[in-house]
Amino acid sequence: MLEFPTISFALGSLTERVDARLAAWDGEDFGARMWARDHTLWSREPIPELTNRLGWLWLPGETGQVAGIEQFAAEVRHEADRVVLLGMGGSSLAPEVYQATFGNDDGYPELQVLDSTHPEAVRGAEAMLDPVRTLFVVASKSGGTIETLSLFRYFWRWMSDAVGQPGERFVAFTDPGSGLEALGRERGFRRIFPTPPDVGGRYSALTPFGLVPAALIGMDVRRLLRSAAAMAEACGAPVPPSANPGLRLAAAMGEAALAGRDKLTYVCSPALEAFGGWVEQLIAESTGKQGKGVVPVVGEPLGDPGVYSDDRVFASMTLDGEDSSGQDAALALLEAAGHPVIRIVLHDLYDLGAEMFRSEMAVAAAGSILGINPFDQPDVQVAKDLTKRAMSAEGLDVAIDEVSTGRPDELADRLGEWIGTLRAGGYIAIHAYLPMDGPATPVLEQLVATLRDRYRAAATLGFGPRFLHSTGQLHKGGAGNGLFLQFVDTPARDLEVPEAGFDFGKLIEGQAAGDYQALAGRRRRVLRVRLGEDPEAGVAMVRDIVTAVA
């Protein structure tokens, strides 16, 4: 049997209730029922997004598509220096993990993920590209994602101005029968990879959404699938839940949330740091609904025990052989202070396949503990609808309330009022509608650390519109214990979206406005800050005010 990542649990006061959950699952034959697609684990009614969203369970063993993927990767290997993935949410996060973790092998193109609609982000990506040496991947399960199609239209015109047959430089991943499939055929895309309809986007790391980009950068996709298959076997139908590594993680995750420890903090060693962005979406979009949810916290440098409240669980991920002594020492202090700690050790980087499968099973099963459907995302659509309305002639029904960094006294008053509504067990989420790699990013990260240390509350950072397709579901559908700080700017230079009748600036402004209205409509505590011409200085002003607030 293949080796797969080890996992150990130091759950402290949670141990008894987690053991009880696993014993109950043993008696209910939970694991076998899950593999049998038994919808009653989550709902009495056989609703479609339960009965037709469990195809990911069998993906590790479905290797029939691999030869074709490998052949395509070999075909384009010497034709491109860069592969640009135009996607959003689940269609883009696993490829980003693969590039960040493995890099591109010698002689293979580098993968660049573009999932921002900020004009400066689009312009920055364009500046790095040579049309003759670039391959675009257009990824959308539904085929109608506005961000993905807007980016496609922009780069289609860009490529059309440079080469005679632009379709040869485009590839699509989408469900059969989607609008993107029709568009790709109409415009002569080089290849259209069908994606399995019974696998949701955030569970798609081992579908063509993840495997094709992995092969394009030179990864051994067969080895990745073998790793996942080893975990799938260990989590198989005959295995009792108490011995099932995926269900043991599920029990810890779900029972911790019921006990008030609903902030699951992933602490990844440097080699595995990118995993956090993928697992963040998986957890937040799967569990954050019906007033419940697990809040994933990723990318947070560990602090002293004194900066944490008793709402945390820490999940450590390290790579065997990598120096993680500092991380281990910090976790030992947290464990001694009474915080539950889960330790996961990968033997090599390809163990990511196994860990992705384990995480998917754990999150899906934790949904049963919370009493929610882990495969739908009802509140994501609300923000999409409000975005369209914000961009329309009639606009939103309610004016957007915002404060500007150009009025520092008013900003200080509003920030004080906003942070004063934080309650025990709450968390703070920063929504930055700014370029992810822009000059304001380091200051945003400082602000996150300041908020955590100052108020002993979990603080997270999301960039719009990316987070709308991940943590956005949790923010609107979860427990209602979050405070939300939205940053918007006014780009100095806009970019037209061809064939669309709007610019990227209008799109991202509409997305921010729609998200604000969706949060306000659910009585979430949201403060919107308009940054000046220098977003870095504007965020720094907010950081300094927060530090000084009594």
* pLDDT over 90 percentage in the chain: 91
User: What is the rounded radius of gyration, in angstroms, for the C-alpha atoms of the chain?
Assistant: 23
pLDDT at residue 550 in the model: 53
DSSP lists the bridge partners of residue 463 as 432
* C-alpha–C-alpha distance, residues 144 and 94, integer Å: 20
384 or 245, which is more confident: 245
- The string of pLDDT tens digits covering residues 252-289 is 999 999 999 999 999 999 999 999 999 999 999 999 99
pTM of the entire predicted model: 0.97
231, with CB counted inside 10 A (0-12, 13-18, 19+), is buried
Average pLDDT over residues 172-182: 97
Checking if the pLDDT of 17 tops 90, the result is yes
Average pLDDT over residues 317-327: 94
pLDDT at residue 50 in the model: 86
Sheet architecture: strand order including 110-114: 110-114, 82-86, 134-139, 170-174, 191-194
Count of CB atoms situated within 10 Å of the CB of 399? 9
* C-alpha–C-alpha distance, residues 337 and 355, integer Å: 28
Q: pLDDT band for 69, please (50, 70, 90 cuts).
A: very high
- The string of pLDDT tens digits covering residues 222-259 is 999 999 999 999 999 999 999 999 999 999 999 999 99
Average pLDDT over residues 407-414: 96
Checking if the pLDDT of 11 tops 80, the result is yes
Checking if the pLDDT of 407 tops 50, the result is yes
pLDDT at residue 2 in the model: 57
As a whole number, the mean pLDDT across the chain is: 95
Lowest-pLDDT choice from 48-62, 123-137, 189-203: 48-62
Residue 465: asked if its preceding bond is cis (omega within 30°), the reply is yes
pLDDT at residue 388 in the model: 85
* C-alpha–C-alpha distance, residues 335 and 10, integer Å: 8
* pLDDT over 70 percentage in the chain: 99
- The string of pLDDT tens digits covering residues 421-480 is 999 999 999 999 999 999 999 999 999 999 999 999 999 999 999 999 999 999 999 999
Lowest-pLDDT choice from 26-40, 349-363, 374-388, 440-454: 374-388
Checking if the pLDDT of 549 tops 80, the result is no
Nearest alpha-carbon partner for 133 in 87, 95, 83: 83
Checking if the pLDDT of 114 tops 60, the result is yes
Rama region for 396: left / alpha / beta (φ>0; ψ in -120 to 50; rest) = beta
Cβ distance 433 to 426 under 8 Å?
Answer: no
Cβ distance 69 to 247 under 8 Å?
Answer: no
pLDDT at residue 478 in the model: 96
* C-alpha–C-alpha distance, residues 36 and 383, integer Å: 34
pLDDT at residue 450 in the model: 95
Place of tokens 């141990």: 15
- The string of pLDDT tens digits covering residues 152-162 is 999 999 999 99
pLDDT at residue 1 in the model: 47
pLDDT at residue 143 in the model: 93
Nearest alpha-carbon partner for 494 in 502, 503, 485, 486: 503
How many angstroms separate the Cα of 181 from the Cα of each of 148, 152, 245, 497?
13, 13, 38, 20
